[in-house]
A and B are shown apart, each in its own frame.
Chain A
Amino acid sequence: MLLQLKNIFKWVNSGGQRIFLLKDINLNVHEGEFISVMGPSGSGKSTLLNVIGMLDAFDEGEYQFLDESVHDLREKNRANLYKEYIGFVFQSYHLLDDLTVKENLEMPLLYKKVKGPERKAMVADMLDRFNIVGKKDLFPAQLSGGQQQLVGIARALISSPKLILADEPTGNLNSKQGEEIMELFKQLNQEGVTIIQVTHSEKNAAYGSRTINLLDGRMV
């Protein structure tokens, strides 16, 4: 098992009232799964993804990731854990505008202190795999949305994570670009990468092996 959420609650206090963002979430994810999280706006999809990605804390419950108890870990160890095993893909790509495609890909490796030659090899490998060798010296603004998201996924993949978390990865793309990205996810999943995506579209959700529906922070 890759990860297990047990009775996860998350809330905020607003005006003396406790507003639940996540309510009693129980979720087991096995390696190689491709899960789609669906639900209306404000149902807690992104919050759930952030909790799984260890970017956000939760208030109650237990979270096991590869036999580590995330809820018992200190901030720093948690960061090390997600650095090692999780890659993030965002709706608005979040590439760094001042860096070229190549430099954007290189960044996670820099933070993992991968040595120079090895880093170059990995970047070259990734450029090759995504067929963007010709664009390696361009800046994000010079790319189309689809291409930018391609770079975003490549960046998420470069440190060979076990899990990819994608928050509406096709939300800013047209349907053709979206389809290409989803095909890519499917292919990655077949290669063994576990994927959890948040999406609004039934069509995209269908790429997944399993769909979770959220409503007002609760799994339905």
Chain B
Amino acid sequence: MFKNQLKIAWRSIKKQPFLNALNTFGLAIGIAGTLIICLFIYDELSYDQMFLDSERIHRINVDAKFGGPGREMSQVSAPMAGAILNDIPQVEEVIRFRPWGTTSLNKIDSRELVLEDNATWVDTNVVSMFGLKMLYGDPLKALEQPNSMILTKSAVEKHFEPSSAIGRELIVNEGQTFTITGVIEDLPQNSFLAEYSVFMSLMGFQDAFQNEWGNHNYNTFIKLKHNADAADIAAPLQGMMERYLIPYAQQFFPGITLKEFEAAGNYVNYSSMKLTDLHLHSHRAEDMGRNGDINNIYILSFIALFLILLASINFMNLSTAYSLKRAKEIGIRKTLGSNKKGIIRQFLMESGLITFGSLIIGLAMAWIALPFFNDLAEKAISIPYSSPVFWLVLFAAAILLALCSGSYPAFFMSKFRPARVLKGSGETSLGGAKLRSGLVIFQFAISVFLIIGTLVVGEQLQFIQNKDLGYSKDQVLLINNLNRLNNQAGSFKEEVKQLSQVADATLSEFVPTPSSRTDSSFFLEGKTDQESAVNMQGWRVDYDYMNTLDLKLVSGRDFDPSIATDSTAMIINESATKVLGLSPEEVLGKRVANGLGEDALSYYTVIGVVKNFHFESMRNVVRPLSLRISNSLGYMAVKLKSGNFEETVSKIQGIWDSRSPGLSFDYRFMDDSFNEVYENERRLGKIFIIFTSLSIFIACLGLFGLAAFNAHKRIKEIGVRKVLGASVGQITYRLSVDFLKLVGIAILIALPIGWFAMNRWLQDFTYRIEIGVGIFLASALLAILIAMLTVSYQSIKAAIVNPVKSLRTE
């Protein structure tokens, strides 16, 4: 019986190649798209789950405001970890990381570069606490000694046999010598440690053992005891503030109490965040991993749902529409004694077959598309062929899909009454037309919504790209690791400046694109209360800084090497001026100190106010900032004149190589570095475009099929109209206009929803576009145009048919 049904199902599928090809293709695309998105989401959700007791590990966060705007940090002070372990009984273990950025390891004798990668200082218990897999070395004691370090397998294996790596000594950053005391398995892609391959023992890092509560530099993790609840430690965690931070602050503000501190509008709030939540929920400065965004997960989940829904709707729509052609078959089956159940089973069998075929094609499509997607999303996702769970879920989903999309047509058709459908050539009035229209509206509403999303994301990115940043990032070369040149850096800069293609150059570890940042409190001279403190960036720059980056002055003047006192001069930005409560003119000549009264370390005279420039993402407001002259080695920014950049870069590299043979010349252009800040948005934008196109395509497939069916159904009417004098244009219009009405309704539904949703997305940006009429108009026009193109093919095809053919009376 089953075999017979299968055979018949296959035959009837073959009988309508156009319909079933559309169905299969649409479903396959839907399945492929949804599959890729699901794999992506699964990967994003799996972050840091692999670590030992990951559900018990939490990170300590701090939100602090002390003069200037508040900051959300992922790092706390060095003594915090010890204090927590000591004071909070629910905590079993603590660990601190002190990320050290790109670090070079060289062999002692040959000075050959072994590795240049992200390194972090870490407490001794890193292997045991996170359950890292130690390949060689003692997991418990490896980091006990100062100047010991653990490397990942792939970090060492290029130069040594991993088993023989233990005990080898390497020079770190051209300075101290470290001994390799352990080799661990590479860290999984989906972990917060993925980007680190060098773990140096904090035992030799003096700063880690100072009782300094004022700096926040350590990513601190705690492991709770079994049965302990994160909520239980919230209060004692916040208690640290009064217990340690206030006494510390009293060194600077004698007698200050917690109340006074808070009364001035300041706060320090400690909290904990689950390790497994970090990847998607933490957007804090100095996060260790490259984090994703839970909002993207939501958006993508919706898109995945849309895709599969659209494909499924197509299936229902097309199947019911074409069922008219099969009404006779059903009538005959019924007169031959088949009951409703049998007919339903027959149609479900067909939809099952089609879904199965789509599944195979969809899997193949996903397999082909994944490398491209990985490239785009910077992921290493693969289809888990070997996982039985994957196949189980996939087949369960396919069966569900087949049932969902097949059941409506099946029940719909099983209701045909044989007497009516067998009466002859007369058209059976076909039910479900309203539902079909509703589904088309739904499909296009989703498509229009996605178009709006794509356009808004695109326009915002464009806006960011074109916004006046307050500095010039074009034609600026950023050379990294200037600190390696040490005292040669200055002469290197001078030599580069001599090049005819170079306009100017400046040395600093601080640039507007991602680089070093340092926050500290400054006080206006004569004001000793903590209220007039301004928390601002203190960037150390040289005399060419303003000119190279094309920063604009609002008042005052630039640093001048011929004025001796400029070594203690300061230029602040507009935001800082505002926090100080002075106008750009008033602030000139005022002195500020980083410290109070006798503790003041040094005084700086404000000589100028620089126009606010964006040194952080447009998500944030421009915070207070100060520039002062000081030796600071990190980057060299080189402003190039127009011309052959490649040639200039190679000339500069020549100068670099002549000074420091063996040191790699690491450079990039500033606008690339700028673009990276918005990489997440850019990726989102691209992903949006891809899946929007997919969903529109699927919706169009459905519309195409429906238009074909509609034209077929109205073939007699078209013939009559033509005989009575209708032109091809008029017929085409008649056939298309009904569909366009549906698309019009869809647009009306989608516009307000799109406006609402995308406005919410934009709220994340402090600097953002207004969603204008233009976007709505463009989305509507695009949808109409696409629908028109889709429908018109079938309409024109029907309209040019010779009426003699359609009006024959047989």
Q: A56-B804, A92-B809 known; A107 and B724 CB under 8 Å? A: yes
Q: Which of B364-372, B713-721, B760-768 contacts A (4 or more CB under 8 A)?
A: B713-721
B724 & A91 in contact (Cβ 8 Å cutoff): no
A145 within 8 A of B: no
A96 & B717 in contact (Cβ 8 Å cutoff): yes
A112 & B725 in contact (Cβ 8 Å cutoff): yes
Q: Which residue of B lies closest to A167 (CB)?
A: B809
B802 & A88 in contact (Cβ 8 Å cutoff): no
> Please, which residues of chain A bring their CB within 8 A of the CB of B723?
53, 55, 88, 94
Q: Which of B719, B730, B802 contacts A94 (CB 8 A)?
A: B719
Over the window 793-809 of chain B, the binary record of Cβ atoms lying under 8 Å from chain A Cβ atoms (1 yes, 0 no) is: 00000000011100111
Chain A contacts with B in 90-106, Cβ cutoff 8 A: 90-92, 94-98
Query: With A and B bound together, what is the CA distance between A107 and B719 in angstroms?
Result: 13
B807 & A107 in contact (Cβ 8 Å cutoff): no
A111 & B725 in contact (Cβ 8 Å cutoff): yes
A55 & B803 in contact (Cβ 8 Å cutoff): yes
> Please, which residues of chain A bring their CB within 8 A of the CB of B808?
46
Q: A79-B725, A111-B725 known; A94 and B720 CB under 8 Å? A: yes
Query: With A and B bound together, what is the CA distance between A50 and B720 in angstroms?
Result: 14
B727 within 8 A of A: yes
B741 shortest CB reach to chain A, Å: 16
A94 & B725 in contact (Cβ 8 Å cutoff): no
> Please, which residues of chain A bring their CB within 8 A of the CB of B802?
55-56
> Please, which residues of chain A bring their CB within 8 A of the CB of B397?
none
Chain B contacts with A in 700-747, Cβ cutoff 8 A: 716-717, 719-721, 723-727, 730
A94 & B804 in contact (Cβ 8 Å cutoff): no
Query: With A and B bound together, what is the CA distance between A155 and B721 in angstroms?
Result: 12
B725 & A83 in contact (Cβ 8 Å cutoff): yes
Q: A90-B809, A92-B809 known; A155 and B804 CB under 8 Å? A: no
> Please, which residues of chain B bring their CB within 8 A of the CB of A92?
809
A219 shortest CB reach to chain B, Å: 21
B803 & A111 in contact (Cβ 8 Å cutoff): no
> Please, which residues of chain B bring their CB within 8 A of the CB of A167?
809
Q: Which of A55, A79, A91 contacts B727 (CB 8 A)?
A: A79
Interface Cβ pair total, 8 Å cutoff: 44
A178 within 8 A of B: no
Query: With A and B bound together, what is the CA distance between A50 and B805 in angstroms?
Result: 11
Q: Which residue of A lies closest to B723 (CB)?
A: A88
Query: With A and B bound together, what is the CA distance between A48 and B285 in angstroms?
Result: 86
Over the window 46-60 of chain A, the binary record of Cβ atoms lying under 8 Å from chain B Cβ atoms (1 yes, 0 no) is: 100010010110000
A108 & B803 in contact (Cβ 8 Å cutoff): no
A111 & B730 in contact (Cβ 8 Å cutoff): yes
A155 & B724 in contact (Cβ 8 Å cutoff): yes
Q: Most chain-A Cβ atoms within 10 A of its Cβ — which of B716, B720, B725?
A: B725
> Please, which residues of chain B bring their CB within 8 A of the CB of A155?
724
Over the window 135-155 of chain B, the binary record of Cβ atoms lying under 8 Å from chain A Cβ atoms (1 yes, 0 no) is: 000000000000000000000
Chain A contacts with B in 170-193, Cβ cutoff 8 A: 171
A91 & B804 in contact (Cβ 8 Å cutoff): no
> Please, which residues of chain A bring their CB within 8 A of the CB of B730?
111
A96 & B720 in contact (Cβ 8 Å cutoff): yes
Q: Which residue of B lies closest to A113 (CB)?
A: B725
A111 & B724 in contact (Cβ 8 Å cutoff): yes
A99 shortest CB reach to chain B, Å: 9
Query: With A and B bound together, what is the CA distance between A108 and B809 in angstroms?
Result: 22
Query: With A and B bound together, what is the CA distance between A94 and B723 in angstroms?
Result: 10
Over the window 19-50 of chain A, the binary record of Cβ atoms lying under 8 Å from chain B Cβ atoms (1 yes, 0 no) is: 00000000000000000000000000010001
> Please, which residues of chain A bring their CB within 8 A of the CB of B803?
55
Q: Which residue of A lies closest to B808 (CB)?
A: A46
Query: With A and B bound together, what is the CA distance between A98 and B807 in angstroms?
Result: 17
B428 shortest CB reach to chain A, Å: 13
Query: With A and B bound together, what is the CA distance between A9 and B29 in angstroms?
Result: 52
Query: With A and B bound together, what is the CA distance between A50 and B730 in angstroms?
Result: 22
Query: With A and B bound together, what is the CA distance between A95 and B723 in angstroms?
Result: 12
Query: With A and B bound together, what is the CA distance between A79 and B722 in angstroms?
Result: 9
Q: Which residue of A lies closest to B719 (CB)?
A: A94
Q: Which of B717, B726, B807 contacts A90 (CB 8 A)?
A: B807
Query: With A and B bound together, what is the CA distance between A112 and B804 in angstroms?
Result: 21
Q: Which residue of B lies closest to A83 (CB)?
A: B725
> Please, which residues of chain B bring their CB within 8 A of the CB of A107?
721, 724
A55 & B804 in contact (Cβ 8 Å cutoff): yes
> Please, which residues of chain B bring their CB within 8 A of the CB of A55?
723, 802-804
A171 shortest CB reach to chain B, Å: 8
Query: With A and B bound together, what is the CA distance between A50 and B727 in angstroms?
Result: 18
> Please, which residues of chain A bring their CB within 8 A of the CB of B727?
79, 111
Query: With A and B bound together, what is the CA distance between A167 and B809 in angstroms?
Result: 10
Q: Which of A88, A91, A97, A98 contacts B809 (CB 8 A)?
A: A91
Over the window 70-89 of chain A, the binary record of Cβ atoms lying under 8 Å from chain B Cβ atoms (1 yes, 0 no) is: 00000000010001000010
Q: Most chain-A Cβ atoms within 10 A of its Cβ — which of B719, B723, B804, B809?
A: B723
Query: With A and B bound together, what is the CA distance between A92 and B803 in angstroms?
Result: 14
B722 shortest CB reach to chain A, Å: 8
Query: With A and B bound together, what is the CA distance between A94 and B720 in angstroms?
Result: 6
Chain B contacts with A in 762-810, Cβ cutoff 8 A: 802-804, 807-809
B726 & A94 in contact (Cβ 8 Å cutoff): no
A165 shortest CB reach to chain B, Å: 10
> Please, which residues of chain B bring their CB within 8 A of the CB of A111?
721, 724-727, 730
Query: With A and B bound together, what is the CA distance between A108 and B803 in angstroms?
Result: 15
Q: Which residue of A lies closest to B425 (CB)?
A: A92
28 of the cross-chain contacts (CB-CB < 8 Å) are: A46-B808, A50-B804, A55-B804, A56-B802, A79-B725, A83-B725, A88-B723, A88-B724, A90-B807, A90-B809, A94-B720, A94-B723, A94-B807, A95-B720, A96-B721, A98-B717, A107-B721, A107-B724, A108-B724, A108-B725, A111-B725, A111-B726, A111-B727, A111-B730, A155-B724, A167-B809, A168-B809, A171-B809
- CB within 8 Å of B: which residues of A? 46, 50, 53, 55-56, 79, 83, 88, 90-92, 94-98, 107-108, 111-112, 155, 167-168, 171
Assuming A46-B808, A107-B724, A111-B725, what are 5 further A-B pairs, CB within 8 angstroms? A53-B723, A55-B804, A79-B727, A98-B717, A167-B809
